[in-house]
């Protein structure tokens, strides 16, 4: 399913609202787009995320999907944005390497540097190669949750970031996500197996985008 994409990487389609924020763009990509990373915003509303993207040197992804299924394009596709974070080793999942191939107690930054020495086809897509899609949804602490003793002095936001459970995406969000992923795959020749939840490619809360579905049947055009 093809859509019109202008020279900057903005999609022209009735389902996509332009809300481009130059503050989250980090310059033109140096290589091909090879994958898609699906996130959740850790916010209750689209407005809070859209407003945060207007701050100087803000971070964000290329698209934002509201709970009612509205799709906002917040950055040009051909621009890099900071949304992925340090990469995990894809070779461990593909069983092409083992933990013994890495230094003992390798830190996330060190593993990321090692991964970035590989060709894009041999690792997860980084900020340079990935299109980012955010879905509005917040991580919430379970009712009655008590943090471990060693974390009692942590700020509540840090505790929530570690132990919070993200909202399940709404049916409307998953329908829009499926449409958008299909459009990006077909229009930019992104392989079907190159769509990932954020915690898969980086060290993030494992419940982020846990309920994201991008394989639903979608109507055309």
pLDDT above 80 (res 220): no
8-state DSSP, 55: S
Question: If you write DSSP's letter for every residue of 36-54 in order, what string do you get?
Answer: EEEEE-SBS-HHHHHHHTT
Asked if residue 103 belongs to a domain, the reply is no
Asked if residue 215 belongs to a domain, the reply is no
- Burial letters for 134-149: b for 16+ Cβ neighbours within 10 Å, e otherwise? bbbbbbbeeeeeebee
CA distances from 170 to 39, 40, 67, 212 (A): 14, 12, 6, 9
Q: What is the pLDDT of residue 221?
A: 62
Q: What is the pLDDT of residue 97?
A: 86
Asked if residue 152 belongs to a domain, the reply is yes
> Each residue of 122-150: pLDDT tens digit?
999 999 999 999 999 999 999 988 888 89
Q: What is the pLDDT of residue 152?
A: 85
Most confident segment among 36-45, 88-97, 150-159: 36-45
> Each residue of 12-71: pLDDT tens digit?
999 999 999 999 999 999 889 999 999 999 999 999 999 999 999 899 999 999 999 999
Give the mean pLDDT of 209-216.
Answer: 97
Asked if residue 221 belongs to a domain, the reply is no
Asked if residue 118 belongs to a domain, the reply is no
Asked if residue 72 belongs to a domain, the reply is yes
> Each residue of 164-177: pLDDT tens digit?
999 999 999 999 99
Q: Quote the strand ranges of 14-128, DSSP E.
A: 16-18, 25-28, 35-40, 63-65, 71-73, 79-81
Give the CATH number for residue 33.
3.40.80.10
Asked if residue 89 belongs to a domain, the reply is no
122's tokens: 């041999």
CB atoms within 10 A of CB 181: 24
Give the mean pLDDT of 75-81.
Answer: 97
How many domains, the chain?
1
Asked if residue 208 belongs to a domain, the reply is no
- List CB contacts of 48: < 8 A, sequence separation 6 or more: 41
pLDDT above 70 (res 77): yes
CA distances from 161 to 15, 82, 139, 145 (A): 32, 19, 7, 13
Q: What is the pLDDT of residue 46?
A: 97
Instruction: State the residue range of the domain holding 35.
Output: 4-84+124-201
User: Tokens 């829009």 map to which residue?
Assistant: 176
């Amino acid at each position: 399913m093809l859509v019109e994409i202008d020279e900057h990487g903005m999609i022209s389609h009735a389902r996509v609202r332009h809300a481009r924020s130059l503050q989250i763009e980090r310059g033109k990509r140096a290589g091909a787009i090879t994958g898609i990373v699906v996130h959740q915003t850790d916010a209750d509303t689209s407005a809070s995320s859209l407003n945060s993207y207007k701050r100087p040197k803000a971070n964000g992804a290329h698209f934002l999907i509201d709970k009612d299924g509205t799709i906002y394009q917040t950055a040009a596709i051909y621009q890099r944005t900071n949304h992925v974070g340090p990469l995990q080793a894809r070779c461990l999942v593909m069983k092409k390497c083992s933990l013994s191939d890495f230094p003992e107690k390798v830190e996330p930054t060190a593993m990321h540097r090692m991964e970035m020495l590989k060709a894009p086809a041999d690792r997860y897509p980084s900020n340079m190669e990935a299109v980012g899609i955010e879905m509005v949804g917040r991580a919430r602490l379970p009712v009655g949750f008590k943090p471990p003793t060693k974390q009692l002095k942590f700020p509540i936001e840090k505790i929530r970031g570690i132990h919070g459970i993200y909202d399940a995406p709404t049916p409307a969000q998953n329908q829009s996500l499926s449409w958008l992923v299909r459009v990006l795959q077909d229009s930019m020749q992104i392989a079907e197996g190159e769509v990932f939840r954020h915690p898969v490619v980086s060290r993030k809360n494992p419940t982020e985008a846990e309920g994201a579905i991008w394989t639903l049947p979608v109507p055309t055009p």
